[in-house]
Structure 1
Amino acid sequence: MDFSFLHKTTSILILALISFLFLLFQSSNASIHTYDNNPFRDVGNSALLPGGSEGLAASLDGSRSFIRFENVTFWRTKAAADEHSEMEHSTGLVQVVIFEAADRNNIGGSAYGGQRSICCTPDLAKLEGCKQGEVIRMPSATDINWPIVLNVQFSGNYLSTKMDNVDVPITKTGMYNLFFIACDPKLKGLVMSGKTIWKNPNGYLPGRMAPLMNFYVYMSLAYVVLSVIWFIQYVRYWKDILQLQHCITAVITLGLFEMILWFSEYANFNNTGIRPVVITTWVVTVGAVRKSLTRLLILCVSMGYGVVRPTLGGLTSKVLLLGATYFLASELLDITEFVGTISDISGRARLFLVLPVAFLDAFLILWIFTSLSKTLEQLQAKRSSIKLDIYRKFSNALAVTVIASVIWIAYECLFLWKYYASSYRCISKQQILSMSDGRVLGSLLLSGTFLPLPCYVLFAICGPHLRTPKGML
């Protein structure tokens, strides 16, 4: 196998991780969306600033589920302000638009089937009766009060204007989008500061993350059970423990620690709305170490380390290089996914960061099964029937796990496609749970589910009744 690509990949990932962390620690650190002189960008005939996108569950009275605006201030350029006198009343309009994803086509319009415009043009004013210079809004079919449009006016020649602190109650479960829009071309160069608070009935966790709190509780309990079973066997066979089994102990400990940390982090996030960058980065790093070490353990077991070969020999450096590369790729992906401001729609950066992890997983799977095939041949040649039978079962279990992972990935891709195509109508609790746990389950199938397999193999193979004085065949 050619490993030259790993050196280049590792170097690139190290630089990317350092750069990303540098930018990240200067950015927002909360699910409460914070804006610090964020600039508007030109989109069609409007200037637009995305404010966030999250799944929100409805509350009956709207008091426990809302989008709150606090200290939202808009700043225009001095040149734009100087065009007006101090006595003028309305000298610039900024509109705050909130809509449920199913109503996204209710914002904007097109004249004679041409390019879609966000702001009302003279032609659209004649055709649709909208007000020129404002956002085109058509009432929702389910609630005429939605989409919500809030107006914020500049006065006189002031450089800034402040929006009133208001709460927008959420009475319908769905995926909600927030945009700040200026249709006045004279407001070019507009920037905004302030924050918005997105709250679900049970806390500040976004819709896609809320079900994971219970998930991490169950996973913590599962790791506790596994830890107890492993510790009993670990003590029982203490004199015959292999170095690889010490590593498995470390993986189980890391897994338990990671699940507890995730639950604690989510609970704090849900209660306060704040997600400290340092703490979340630490949790993500523990997870990346655990995933990398688990994959390397599976690879070492497949190579027959401690069973048919005392050392990995010249492959040691390549295995460690692959582990380091996977750690960096996984760390970068998870930081992008979990650290910083949370929105329920991931950016394009995540898509590109998924590719190295997927490629490395595929490479690992190929190497695992190639090594496993060679180990089976060695065991067959030495006629070690008991170990051969165990390794065959191990191979079958790995094959089933990989196939299940591929099927789940295909299902998740299809579900995601339907998720976006159906205007985010699948925001119900059960479907959010499927989406959220699906991502975690896919990871577990490739890492966590593998963990009991080497435990079983090593205990079965390395038990006192099967081992020689050197622990080898």
Structure 2
Amino acid sequence: SSSKVQIIVFEIEDREMIGGSAYGGQKAICCTSDLAKLGACAEGSVIYRPSQVNPGWPQLFVASFDGSDLIATLPSRTIPVKKTGMYNMYFIHCDPALAGLEIDGKTIWKNPTGYLPGRMAPLKNFFGLMSFAFVILGIYWFYQYMKFWREVLPLQNCITLVITLGMLEMALWYFEYAEFNETGVRAKAITFWAVTFGTIKRTVARLIILIVSMGYGVVRPTLGGLTSKVVMLGGTFFVATEILELVENLGTVNDLSGKARLFLVYPVAILDASFIVWIFISLAKTLSQLQARRLMAKLDIYRKFTIALAITVLVSIGWIGYEV
């Protein structure tokens, strides 16, 4: 006998139009014998009602197995979507004979402005603006750098590295999103380098703040025995962040389950928290040393630095909570 797979495409606001129940019982996707007796649907078919708000939706297509055929083919179709929203596509079979069914194929979704998914589309313009902002910052910084090159400190060379990495990261993300939008396929090489430059930038930035908080070049000439610990924390943070970012950005959009993502997010959050705790403990010690030595000008700078850092950390903690 003929068996069929039904493909239903609907907007998320119309999800209540899918499925039904007899006598107020449990909701079913497939038409049961009770519902068929009530004349509500044809037994063995998907239950759905036309949307009053979005005429012509949900849309239903059928691929039928005729006789003893083992393969049913659904011809390629184009569905014009005229209303902004989040759309779902379900493949449903109501025939027990189709247990173990395998579906192979692909769907191509395109927005009016390109292939970028709706939640990612604004990021293209964002990274374009950020690239421009980093160029302006870079021009200003390098002008100051050349003007006072005789007085440049080693830590300021690290800041130059952070700004350069930021420029490269934002430019690469913009080109990655532009390519994705144009072709519908993520440029993996560009994505890899954008993620890597971004991870190095974040790692170096955290290490700079930690070293400054320890009073390097102000109350101590070297880090002494702490150097290996600082390098170890920085290296671990780099590896954990790189893995998380690569898995999130090199895979299919939203292909990570909640539990799998948490497994990768927790180490990054814990290491970020370790940086924060160590930075503030070091700041407290440095402030005490500056006060004891009566270096008031440097003490004032470090107090302002502490306030600015506290505000930044509060924002960071909020972000960590959101990520978790």
Normalised by the size of structure 1, how large is the TM-score? Answer: 0.64
The within-5 A match list for 1:71-110 is: 91-110=2-21
Q: Return closer, same or farther for 1:106/1:328 CA change in 2, 3 Å cut-off.
A: farther
Q: Return closer, same or farther for 1:128/1:366 CA change in 2, 3 Å cut-off.
A: farther
Question: C-alpha separation between the residues in 2 aligned to 1:117 and 1:325?
Answer: 50
Question: C-alpha separation between the residues in 2 aligned to 1:100 and 1:323?
Answer: 45
1:129-173 C-alpha deviation (Å, 9 max, x unpaired): 122212221222312422222111122322212211111111111
1:264-319 C-alpha deviation (Å, 9 max, x unpaired): 11111111111133332222122112112211111111111222222222222222
Look up the match of 1:61.
Answer: none
SS in 2 for 1:96: strand
Look up the match of 2:276.
Answer: 365
Question: C-alpha separation between the residues in 2 aligned to 1:299 and 1:361?
Answer: 12
* Structure of higher RCO (CA pairs closer than 8 Å, 6+ residues apart): 1
Look up the match of 1:402.
Answer: 313
Question: C-alpha separation between the residues in 2 aligned to 1:358 and 1:205?
Answer: 29
Look up the match of 1:30.
Answer: none
Q: Does 2:234 match 1:323?
A: yes
RMSD of aligned C-alpha atoms? 2.2
Look up the match of 2:146.
Answer: 235
**Which stretches in structure 1 are left out of the alignment for 5+ residues?**
1-87, 414-438, 440-473
Report deviation, 1:93: 0.8
Report deviation, 1:123: 2.3
Question: C-alpha separation between the residues in 2 aligned to 1:234 and 1:356?
Answer: 36
**Which stretches in structure 2 are left out of the alignment for 5+ residues?**
none
Select between 361-370 and 387-396 the one with higher mean Cα deviation.
Answer: 361-370
1:233-262 C-alpha deviation (Å, 9 max, x unpaired): 222332333322222211111110000000
Q: Which amino acid aligns with 1:219?
A: M
Q: Does 2:201 match 1:290?
A: yes
Look up the match of 2:253.
Answer: 342
Report deviation, 1:112: 4.5
Contact 1:217–1:259 (CA under 8 A) maintained in structure 2: yes
Report deviation, 1:214: 1.1
Q: Which amino acid aligns with 1:223?
A: F
Look up the match of 2:54.
Answer: 143
Report deviation, 1:103: 1.7
Question: C-alpha separation between the residues in 2 aligned to 1:113 and 1:360?
Answer: 52
Question: C-alpha separation between the residues in 1 aligned to 2:224 and 2:22?
Answer: 71
The within-5 A match list for 1:8-407 is: 91-127=2-38, 129-343=40-254, 347-348=257-258, 349-406=260-317
Contact 1:242–1:306 (CA under 8 A) maintained in structure 2: no
Contact 2:9–2:59 (CA under 8 A) maintained in structure 1: yes
Report deviation, 1:113: 4.6
The within-5 A match list for 1:416-431 is: none
Question: C-alpha separation between the residues in 2 aligned to 1:240 and 1:143?
Answer: 67
Contact 2:168–2:194 (CA under 8 A) maintained in structure 1: no
1:6-58 C-alpha deviation (Å, 9 max, x unpaired): xxxxxxxxxxxxxxxxxxxxxxxxxxxxxxxxxxxxxxxxxxxxxxxxxxxxx
Question: C-alpha separation between the residues in 2 aligned to 1:130 and 1:356?
Answer: 52
Select between 109-118 and 330-339 the one with higher mean Cα deviation.
Answer: 109-118
How many residue pairs match? The answer is 322
Q: Return closer, same or farther for 1:115/1:335 CA change in 2, 3 Å cut-off.
A: farther
Q: Which amino acid aligns with 1:249?
A: T
Question: C-alpha separation between the residues in 2 aligned to 1:106 and 1:409?
Answer: 38
Select between 329-338 and 147-156 the one with higher mean Cα deviation.
Answer: 329-338
Normalised by the size of structure 2, how large is the TM-score? Answer: 0.91
Question: C-alpha separation between the residues in 1 aligned to 2:306 and 2:77?
Answer: 60
SS in 1 for 2:62: strand
SS in 2 for 1:401: helix
- Percent identical pairs in the alignment equals 57
Name whichever structure is richer in helix by fraction. Answer: 2
Look up the match of 1:425.
Answer: none
Q: Return closer, same or farther for 1:109/1:307 CA change in 2, 3 Å cut-off.
A: farther
Question: C-alpha separation between the residues in 1 aligned to 2:319 and 2:252?
Answer: 28
SS in 1 for 2:19: coil
1:411-470 C-alpha deviation (Å, 9 max, x unpaired): xx6xxxxxxxxxxxxxxxxxxxxxxxxx9xxxxxxxxxxxxxxxxxxxxxxxxxxxxxxx
Contact 1:154–1:161 (CA under 8 A) maintained in structure 2: yes
1:386-417 C-alpha deviation (Å, 9 max, x unpaired): 1111111111111122224445777xx6xxxx
Q: Return closer, same or farther for 1:378/1:99 CA change in 2, 3 Å cut-off.
A: same
Question: C-alpha separation between the residues in 1 aligned to 2:52 and 2:217?
Answer: 67
Contact 1:101–1:176 (CA under 8 A) maintained in structure 2: yes
Q: Which amino acid aligns with 2:136?
A: V
